[in-house]
Amino acid sequence: MTHDPVLCLASASPRRRDLLASIGVTVEVRPVDIDETPRPAEPAADYVVRLAREKALAGARLTRLPTLGSDTAVVRDGEILGKPAGREQAATMLRSLSGRAHEVLTGVAVSGPAGLLSVCVTTRVFMRVLEEDELAAYWATGEPADKAGGYAIQGLAAVFVEHIEGSHSAVVGLPLFETANLLARQGVPLWHGA
């Protein structure tokens, strides 16, 4: 049985769509194109919330449904690590995360009857020491090519992560606890499509 969408997802991310589906939220997918360049000296938390809000507002212009925008950044020592441009940049990023903790910040914004609501969730990720042959083998899988920080916790890189402090789903791309609270405030039902 298919259900009518109750939310517009202003993102092409299959992970975000799947996370929303896991809590029974049926979405209409409307990716938006915004400038994702960080502003000079912009703190990472401000950056991800700004992008989430811009995405939600841009998506809201395309639909009558409440609209969700989100952005995730991998942050090491205050520096935002984007998607690697190639194999060597991915290896450099992963070497810099090897054997230490870093932060993953996810901003979520929902535009709807209650206005534009947003939140930022920070999760600390502790990576084990990575070997050079692992970095080469991981790159060969193709997985790190389009991932912030050069890895996917929900994928093959799960074996690199010793533990986390915070929300696993936020590292994947959408903190479900906080997202459910924002959706409830906008009148979006959970378990609608379950």
Given the residues 18, 46, 71, 133, select the one marked as catalytic: 71
Please report the domains of the chain, with CATH numbers, ordered by start residue: 7-185 (3.90.950.10)
Q: Tell me the C-alpha distance between 58 and 10, whole Å.
A: 8
Residue 46 annotated to the active site: no
- What does the pLDDT profile of the chain (194 residues) look like in tens digits? 568 999 999 999 999 999 999 999 999 999 999 999 999 999 999 999 999 999 999 999 999 999 999 999 999 999 999 889 999 999 999 999 999 999 999 999 999 999 999 999 999 999 999 999 999 999 999 999 988 899 999 999 999 999 999 999 999 999 999 999 999 999 999 986 55
Q: What is the pLDDT of residue 2?
A: 63
pLDDT given for residue 107 in this prediction: 98
